[in-house]
Amino acid sequence: MQLITEKAFTTTLWESTFPKITVHLVENLPTSTQHPILDSTSGEVIWVLCGVEHWQNLIQQAIHSGAKVIALTRFAQIDEFKEAFAYGASGYLDALSTSETLQLALKTVQGGGVWLPSPIVNQLITTSANLIPQHQEPDLSELTPKEKEVAKTVATGESNREIALKLNISERTVKSHLTQIYNKLNLRDRMHLMLYIKGKS
């Protein structure tokens, strides 16, 4: 596993989370956009910090050599996410994520999945939902007042943390409410709930 970053970015968390990771500072790489360090990485996961010089080419070359790439961002933006995935990345997450999140993202990508931060997922869901015409009013009569409040807040695209802060409850309570909401409304997941609340499911 490799991490391509810059001197200004601290790698202590990475080295403690993944003791065998090889860290490359982009300022020490050859000036060519073709980097030999990426030539023998088939099956490996390479983490690339967005914004470093030639980061798009680094992703592309790593993918071409058979590696999987997770792009790291300092601030999640839909355009940067689209660019990272256009060049072949399988994951996109906050560079300052916790050790647990980094490990989960790695496991997901190694297993063939895709990893995105919740603000990007929420934005994609909201954008998709707005493209579908509304055809029915959602029936929320089975929900408690607090569950209705949580369900309607989810529909705005806010994360569990944002909902918890807004409603002055814990994230665990938000998750508990969501489980009850899914069960009562016979919904599969957050996306299904968002579509349902918007009358599009």
Rounded to the nearest integer, the mean pLDDT of the chain is: 81
Please give the domain boundaries of the chain with CATH numbers for all domains: 2-116 (3.40.50.2300), 121-197 (1.10.10.10)
In whole angstroms, give the CA distance from residue 195 to residue 126.
9
Cβ count near 7 (within 10 Å):
10
Tens of pLDDT, residues 174-197: 999 999 999 999 888 887 888 788
| Beta strand ranges found along the chain (DSSP E) | 2-5, 22-25, 45-49, 68-73, 91-94
* Confidence at residue 1, expressed as pLDDT on a 0 to 100 scale: 83
Tens of pLDDT, residues 52-78: 888 898 888 888 888 899 999 888 788
